[in-house]
Amino acid sequence: MPLLVDGHVIGAVGVSGASSADEDQELAVLGSEAPSLRSTATYIPKQKVHEQFQTGGLLLQTPSYKLDAGRRSGPGAVELHDHETDIMHVVHGHATVVTGEDKHLLNEGDVLVIPNGVPHQFVDVSAPFFYFVTKVHS
């Protein structure tokens, strides 16, 4: 996907290795839109948010942060992000997230901030569990 600034091609984005070819395409499109987001607010309509929660995935990606419509239906593997802080806001359902020795019981409306370098794991999750995750590059 070409990267355009003021109508000029300044580069390109290619994606491979996501969970499907459709997701590769979606990520490439989001990446190609990043230069146009540099000084504008981003509005994401309710319908787009609702649709994205059906499968989970990125709503917005910029060079300094990402916004993900997270969807889980069960526990996950341990995650560790060297250069991203996760800010999670629960929209629907409940989950238990373990960070080191601490267990966090998350319910609708709760927020959990996981700084970069802190391992974390979803160990108990209602189905479906919807949450926004802002990933801030740090």
Whether the bond between 115 and the residue before it is cis, its omega within 30 degrees of 0, is: no
**Domain coverage including residue 16:** 1-40
Count of the separate structural domains present in the chain: 2
One domain, residues 117 and 66 = yes
Q: Quick check: 39 pLDDT over 70?
A: no
pTM of the model as a whole: 0.72
In this prediction, residues 101-108 reach a mean pLDDT of 97
Q: Which two tokens stand for residue 106?
A: 């998350």
* Same-domain pairing of 58 and 99: yes
Beta bridge partner(s), residue 116: none
Q: How far apart are the first and last CA of the chain?
A: 26
pLDDT category of residue 19 using cuts at 50, 70 and 90: confident
Q: Which residue has the higher pLDDT, 72 or 100?
A: 72
Cβ(88)–Cβ(114) under 8 Å? yes
- Residue 111 corresponds to which amino acid? V
Residue 136 in 3-state DSSP? Answer: strand
